[in-house]
């Protein structure tokens, strides 16, 4: 491939990726900004939110870390808390094992930068024909992190409240997840298995939310999901060892089929 062609390929991937990140830009600039301002009002220089947003890059954990920095020094507890708050990332990794295969150097950064929103876009989007998979994933990841770090740094520099009423703007990220959920649900390649999985995810986390409350429901939800998926495996996993992979069994998985043809 010539240099020109490589540049064209990167540009195509950027054109496909950017529109999907626009709502995230709005949400991250706003939330990042409020996070930076929170740190500013607690007396931290903008360098703190800037570095934390770049290196931790997990929104909710960064808010938690502000409180850690304001209490007694306890690195072991901080480490364990980070593991617990971010345990859901384990499942993102399991979901993307196949899709990140063969992406070389990009893979390391894709894993490093896989926050909720980036995962949601990268796992749910059917990449258009002719667009390079690695570059598409990379652009989504880079753009989202750029929005977040910019927001956090700006907020740290401003260091006080915004001059206009932004009440409710944080809902943009809820809207993003809901729309991705709807897109997956309505997607042509989703099939029965995808919809059953979506229902399992919603019901397991709703039940745990009611049972454990908003601060402690994440880990129970993840455990409940895994248990349910193991129990449902005979009904959902239609490609057991020794199966000849008949057409009917794989018909429900448009994107996996696409993956294997790459």
Partner 1 sequence: MTMTMIQGVITVAVVAAGTMLTRFLPFLVFPESKQPPRIIEYFGKVLPYAMTGLLVVYSLRNTPILTGSHGVPELIACLAIVALHLWRRSMLLSIAGGTIVYMLLVQLVF
The single residue listed with the structure tokens 């959902």 is 236
Nearer to partner 1, 68 or 157 (CB): 68
Interacting residue with partner 1 among 9, 132, 181, 254 (CB under 8 A): 181
Nearer to partner 1, 4 or 247 (CB): 247
* Contacting partner 1 within 57-76 (CB under 8 A): 57-58, 61, 65, 68-73, 75-76
Closest CB 86 distance from partner 1, rounded Å:
4
Interacting residue with partner 1 among 13, 16, 17, 20 (CB under 8 A): 20
CA distances from 64 to 17, 70, 81, 126, 192 (A): 30, 10, 9, 34, 38
Closest CB 3 distance from partner 1, rounded Å:
28
Residue 178: closest CA among 19, 4, 18, 23:
23
* Contacting partner 1 within 100-139 (CB under 8 A): 100-102, 107, 111-112, 114, 116, 119-120, 123-124
Nearer to partner 1, 146 or 172 (CB): 172
Interacting residue with partner 1 among 157, 169, 219, 249 (CB under 8 A): 169
Closest CB 160 distance from partner 1, rounded Å:
18
Q: How far apart are CA 153 and CA 21, in angstroms?
A: 19
The single residue listed with the structure tokens 């907020």 is 155
- Among left, alpha and beta (phi > 0; psi -120 to 50; other), residue 131 is beta
Is the Cβ–Cβ distance between 151 and 31 less than 8 Å?
yes
Three-class SS state of 246 = coil
Interacting residue with partner 1 among 7, 15, 41, 79 (CB under 8 A): 79
* Contacting partner 1 within 209-248 (CB under 8 A): 209, 214, 217-218, 221-222, 225-226, 229-230, 233, 236-237, 240-241
Helices (H), the chain: 3-41, 47-55, 59-69, 75-85, 88-96, 105-112, 116-124, 133-158, 171-186, 191-212, 218-236, 247-250, 254-261
Residue 44 DSSP class: -
159 binds partner 1 (CB under 8 A): no
249 binds partner 1 (CB under 8 A): no
206 binds partner 1 (CB under 8 A): yes
């Amino acid at each position: 491939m010539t240099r020109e062609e490589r540049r064209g390929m990167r540009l195509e991937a950027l054109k496909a990726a950017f529109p999907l990140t626009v709502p995230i830009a709005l949400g991250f600039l706003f939330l990042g900004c409020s996070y930076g301002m929170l740190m500013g009002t607690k007396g931290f220089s903008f360098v703190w939110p800037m570095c934390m947003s770049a290196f931790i890059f997990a929104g909710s954990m960064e808010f938690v870390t502000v409180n850690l920095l304001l209490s007694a020094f306890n690195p072991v507890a901080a480490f364990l808390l980070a593991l617990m708050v971010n345990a859901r990332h384990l499942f993102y990794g399991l979901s993307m094992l196949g899709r990140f295969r063969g992406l070389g150097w990009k893979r390391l950064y894709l894993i490093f930068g896989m926050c909720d929103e980036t995962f949601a876009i990268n796992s749910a989007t059917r990449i258009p024909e002719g667009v390079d998979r690695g570059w598409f994933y990379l652009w989504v990841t880079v753009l989202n992190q750029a929005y977040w770090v910019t927001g956090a740094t700006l907020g740290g520099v401003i260091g006080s409240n915004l001059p206009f009423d932004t009440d409710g703007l944080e809902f943009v990220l809820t809207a993003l997840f809901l729309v991705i959920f709807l897109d997956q649900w309505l997607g042509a390649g989703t099939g029965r298995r995808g919809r059953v999985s979506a229902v399992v995810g919603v019901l397991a986390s709703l039940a745990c939310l009611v049972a454990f409350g908003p601060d402690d429901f994440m880990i129970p939800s993840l455990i409940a999901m895994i248990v349910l998926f193991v129990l449902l495996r005979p009904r959902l996993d239609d490609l057991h060892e020794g199966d000849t992979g008949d057409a009917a069994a794989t018909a429900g998985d448009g994107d996996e089929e696409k993956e294997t043809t790459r």
